[in-house]
Amino acid sequence: MSAKKFKFRFEPLLKVRKHTEKERQKQLATSLKEVQDQQGMLTEMDKERLGATERQRTRMCGPISLAETLVYSRFLVKLKRQRLAGAELLHGLEKEAEQRRRKLVEAARERKIYEMLKEKQQFRHRQEMEKTEQKETDEIASSSFLRQRKRER
């Protein structure tokens, strides 16, 4: 008698859960990349602001031009606005990344539930197959014993 092959009823659902988890991993990676890019842009803005401030300081050693001072002042105000907008955008991107991280954790948890169920069912299936094999072995042994006793009589 051949052993009955194990079949997990929820295998298609487990595949969907695995696919969902992979998609959420990709989404999180995209969000984290966006956060990293925005942080880089803010760092560049800070460097640009410091450079502009330093250039303005060196220019103030000599004769001061009102027009040039206004240009630097407006430029610094513009950089400050961009920095604030960038910081706000960064905050939003970080929130989105955190939400996507939570969704990934939830997807992983759901996948894990189905994998654990599959493992339990495989274990039960193995136990049933072992019981069946043991019964067959016992039956063969008892038949053998009965045949041997009949021969002896």
pLDDT (tens digit, 9 = 90+) per residue, 41-98? 999 999 999 998 888 888 777 777 788 888 888 989 999 999 999 999 999 999 999 9
pLDDT band at 21 (very low <50, low <70, confident <90, very high): very high
Residues 6+ apart with CB under 8 A from 55: 72
pLDDT tens, residue by residue, 34-47? 999 999 999 999 99
**Phi and psi angles of residue 65, each rounded to the nearest 5 degrees, phi first:** -100, 130
pLDDT of 1 over the 60 cut: no
pLDDT of 7 over the 80 cut: yes
Supply the pTM of this predicted model: 0.74
Cα distance between residue 52 and residue 58, in whole Å: 10
Q: Are 97 and 28 in contact (CB under 8 A)?
A: yes
- The closest of 2, 1, 38, 6 to 127, measured between CA atoms, is 6
H or E element in which residue 3 lies: none
Residue 68's CB is within 10 A of a number of other CB atoms, namely: 13
Please tell me what DSSP assigns to residue 10: T
Ordered by start, the domain boundaries in the chain are 11-111
Cα distance between residue 117 and residue 128, in whole Å: 17
pLDDT band at 144 (very low <50, low <70, confident <90, very high): confident
Report the percentage of the chain scoring pLDDT > 90: 71
